[in-house]
Amino acid sequence: MTYPEPPVAAKRPTLREHHGDVFEDPYEWLRDKESPEVVAHLEEENDFTEASTAHLEALRGRIFEEIKARTLETDLSVPVREGSHWYYSRSFEGKEYGVHCRAPISSPDDWTPPELDAETEVPGEEVLLDGNIESAGHDFFRIGSFDVSRDGAWLLYGVDTEGHERYLLRVRELSTGRELDDEIPGTFSGAIFSPDGRYVFYSTVDEAWRPDTIWRHEVGTPVSDDVVVHHEDDERFWGGIGLTRSGDYLVIGLGSSVTSEYRIAPASDPSAEFQVVWPRTEGVEYSIEHARVGAESVLLVLHNHGAPNFELVAVSPDAPGDGPADATVVVAHSTERRLEAVDAFANHLAFSYRRDGLTQVGTAVLGPDSALADITIDELAFDEPLYSVGFGGNPEWEQPTLRIGYGSFVTPSSVFDCDVRTGERALLKQQQVLGGYDASDYEQSREWATAEDGTRVPISLVWKKDGRTGPRPFLLYGYGSYESSIDPALSIARLSLLDRGAGFAIAHVRGGGELGRAWYEDGKLLSKKNSFTDFVACARHLVAEGITRPDTLVAEGGSAGGLLMGAVANLAPDAFAGIHAAVPFVDALTTILDPSLPLTVIEWDEWGDPLHDPEVYAYMKGYSPYENVREGVEYPHILATTSLNDTRVYYVEPAKWVARLREVGAPALLKTEMVAGHGGVSGRYAQWRERAFELAWILDVLVLEAA
């Protein structure tokens, strides 16, 4: 690829001094997003990127049309029953946003969702909210809260039109469409009604974008009269509020990366004081679920106290004690299985867990004579070597079935209702992939790389069968933070890559959660570099096994995965032909040193506290991508994508990184969405065009653009 002359950012050194170390930062001035000079620089970078990729315009157009042609644009989601209605969403050809709808159930015993046809009128259908109407006049639109009162009369919804994840909360009367005067600005996502619909509970954020305060608002009264239900003083903790599926308890959840605390109040008395379940203990995480087992009302508590892969215990809601020592063990800890969630229903329990790097779902039937000691998990079996399975929409306490979502690299997203007593599964919907898609045309497999310390690292792969036996171009994706797992799933956009002869792989590096809690612990804090060396080991393995070559391998990751991309660019630039870093956390040390920035104090549990700990400072300085760009290194082609209004990873991080890469002659591009947040642009067609841009660049690096 050949580029025109790139922009050159001015150098205005700022000194950063910590623990006796002085770092001269020439590009920190780019942090001032209100500066016309900074905005002009970002726009100049966008112009340069557009000019540098102008030869890909036709390819971008083809990929966009391929995504569009494979997508059923006018479609409906599978209805989910709540109360006396089935709730679902519609999409329409030519429309950017979804339309939220509902239709009445036929009877109290109606648990079989109606088979809806996009072309057929649904009897009794009501439109609750049309995103295409609500977004009119805005370049960005996203819904952050969406709740219907139990009597079905009122809609609560929050809207962000800037991408900064602060939502204007509104209440709508559904019978008339009338908006109440109850407008609450600056809320976080996840607001709910109390069961009686009289109150709204919501949270607001502090200057660091941390949801720190939970409020109670009485519908129809001035917002100035709202009551603080909880204010969280510990700057590491986030707060949120919900309702148990049983409807018996309101729940406040408080948590840092490593510590949890829950508080409950009877839902029948929304103004009651919340009581702590277990007091927070540093390093102990837990979650709660209300259940009735036989004649006993219990809180099921999933915790990691002395149980790294988590254990499930039961306590009394009225006297929960102070921790696991006061509880009854329901599902014991196992080194082979990482328990992730338990959902309770009137007649069964559902479990989500991981084993051997794959997600699993199991159930346990409850009856009038059930006892905690008798609960065993019956696992649902699947026959693909790689797949993802998890709970779907299951809001109703009395429902006799379990809704699950299933898919793989080759199997489109599928929704099933499982009869818990018989084990029978009913396929309710499978994502349609238009254009003659045939799953048998593609193949998926699992490889294992060996890391520097001997650890075996799983890699999930998919490619199109074309008779080729030698190396092929590959896109290798990675994340590796926060115990978040990247599981196999079909992507319509990815087919444009696979059908051109490239393969796709996920490197399940340490720092993620694929192989249990230890896998996460070995990729955080002072073990973070394992994530980076694992990714390089996966790249080297694919080459050593003849699956690809370094000159036909592109790496990709976003957010914390963007940190991974920046780190491996410095660590092993020879291993890749190109690297795409999306909203990348590449100036990590600067950010984590500043407690006034959004999320920093919370993030100390993940990365360490370099502000007060010189060992952490030195360790992070040793890997932070911006500070470790090297002279005399032949870097691969690099594309950094970001958004001006991102509150999680500021645009300034990739802007500074690209400026530094340019100093050493790296072929780096920066693309900034000027009206978007951490998740990028909001409309689906805009998202397809954004992905088409990225895929065209990747194919260009792989020299597959003519295919």
Rounded distance between C-alpha atoms, residue 473 and residue 567, angstroms = 22
The whole-angstrom distance between residue 138's C-alpha and the CA centroid of its chain comes to 24
Sketch the domain layout of the chain as residue ranges.
288-431, 443-703
Residue that has been written with the tokens 């409020």 in this structure: 215
Which residues contact residue 438 at a Cβ distance below 8 angstroms, ignoring those fewer than 6 apart?
none
Whether residue 268 lies in the annotated active site: no
pLDDT value for 468: 84
Angle between helices 560-571 and 529-544 (to 10 degrees): 60
Q: Which helix (H) or strand (E) holds 246?
A: none
- Out of 52, 203, 256, 559, the active site residue is 559
**Amino acid identity at 197:** G
Q: What is the pLDDT of residues 205-241, one digit of tens each?
A: 998 888 999 999 999 999 999 999 999 999 999 999 9
pLDDT value for 706: 46
- Out of 100, 646, 682, 700, the active site residue is 646
First to last CA, the chain: 17
pLDDT value for 682: 66
Whether residue 269 lies in the annotated active site: no
Q: Which helix (H) or strand (E) holds 562?
A: helix 560-571
With CA atoms as reference, report the closest residue to 275 among 294, 249, 295, 307.
249
φ, ψ at 696 (rounded to 5°): -65, -40
CB 437 within 8 A of CB 495: yes
Tokens standing for residue 58: 């036709």
Rounded distance between C-alpha atoms, residue 443 and residue 431, angstroms = 19
Do 288-431 and 443-703 share a fold?
A: no
Rounded distance between C-alpha atoms, residue 582 and residue 605, angstroms = 23
Q: What is the pLDDT of residues 462-482, one digit of tens each?
A: 999 998 888 999 999 999 999
pLDDT value for 117: 84
Rounded distance between C-alpha atoms, residue 477 and residue 252, angstroms = 35
Longest CA span, the chain: 76
With CA atoms as reference, report the closest residue to 586 among 606, 557, 550, 554.
557
Whether residue 646 lies in the annotated active site: yes
pLDDT value for 475: 98
Residue that has been written with the tokens 């100035």 in this structure: 224
Residue that has been written with the tokens 């920093």 in this structure: 600
With CA atoms as reference, report the closest residue to 654 among 9, 166, 11.
9
Which residues contact residue 583 at a Cβ distance below 8 angstroms, ignoring those fewer than 6 apart?
558, 559, 562, 641, 642, 643, 646, 648, 649, 654, 678, 680
Rounded distance between C-alpha atoms, residue 413 and residue 17, angstroms = 51
Tokens standing for residue 266: 């009877």
Q: What is the dihedral of CA 207, 213, 218, 221, to 10 degrees?
A: -30
- Distances from the Cα of 542 to the Cαs of 443, 450, 469, 536, 559, in angstroms? 16, 11, 14, 10, 24
Count CA atoms within 13 Å of residue 109 on its CB side: 0
CATH number of 443-703: 3.40.50.1820
- Out of 414, 678, 682, 700, the active site residue is 678
What global pTM score does this model have? 0.91
Which residues contact residue 194 at a Cβ distance below 8 angstroms, ignoring those fewer than 6 apart?
200, 201, 250, 267, 270
In the chain, which residues have pLDDT < 70? Answer: 1-3, 676-682, 705-707
Instruction: Pick one of 1.10.10.10, 2.60.40.10, 2.130.10.120, 1.10.3210.10 as the CATH number of 288-431.
Output: 2.130.10.120
